[in-house]
Amino acid sequence: MELKICHMYPDVLNLYGDRGNVMCMRKRLEWRGIDAEVTRLPIGSSANLAGFDLVFIGGGQDFEQQVLLDDLHRGKDREILSAVRDGLPFLTICGGYQMMGNYYETYDGVRCDFIGAVDLYTVGSKKRMIGNYKFQCGTESGGSVVVGFENHSGQTFLGEGVQPLGQVLAGFGNNGEDGTEGVRWLNVFGTYSHGPLLPKNPAFCDQILLTALQRKYGTAELAPLDDAAELAAHNEMAAKL
Ligand code: GLN
């Protein structure tokens, strides 16, 4: 078995080492004897997503989100939209998560029209939502408790009928108001959680990998791994929160 992973905009969307999530996915596949091929699609690269099994998009500052707009609207937007409708799994973080939605209006009043692949929008607020946080995924996303780190000015609001990724247990999540965190739409997983999200949340990582493997191969199972170190990191932060 093999997964072809696309890392989109690694050049501009990589806050707090979001790319560590790609390394984590690759490693957890390799430990089970499953091949993983990672292809980077920076600004200016081909928009073609054909042949990929999983797409990762990290987060970025308002400035970087504006920098990529021209490139996005040169074809990657349409390609992402049709891939989402086709059920391709995406893991998108913060600025990358906002990009899957309709638009982001920054606190300075700059409007970024995004992809509209998921019915959600984001509006910048004066107060930044910063800190370690935790949330519980919905059952369709595995139901695990995820510990993460968020840092965003944008408040995201989901359209009618769009399910969040989970419910906030501590911290802000989508907007600091309605208790929701992230989004789960078809096979899009969107979250505000930055940096080492997957290394310290192995159950959530495996849920995403399984989604991709099952879509590709019909059925798939993941052999258990020794997650003692990962769970020690996870449990320590979960207890603090
Ligand atoms: N610039 C966006 C915001 O502040 C996204 C931030 C991020 O990716 N950390 O809401």
* pLDDT tens per residue, range 213-233: 999 999 999 999 999 999 999
pTM, rounded to two decimals: 0.97
Indicate which residue of 6, 7, 24, 94 is catalytic.
94
The total number of structural domains in the chain stands at 1
> How would you class 115 by CB atoms within 10 Å of its CB: exposed for 0-12, middle for 13-18, buried for 19 or more?
buried
Domain hosting residue 151, numbered range? 2-240
CB atoms inside a 10 Å sphere around CB 108? 8
Question: What span, in angstroms and rounded, lies between the C-alpha atoms of 56 and 90?
Answer: 6
Q: What is the pLDDT of residues 19-67, one digit of tens each?
A: 999 999 999 999 999 999 999 999 999 889 999 999 999 999 999 999 9
Q: What is the CATH number of the domain that holds 122?
A: 3.40.50.880
Whose alpha carbon is nearest atom 3 of ligand 1? 152
65, 174, 175, best to mutate for ligand 1 pocket (most atoms within 8 Å of CB): 65
Burial class from Cβ neighbours inside 10 Å (0-12, 13-18, 19+) for residue 224 reads exposed
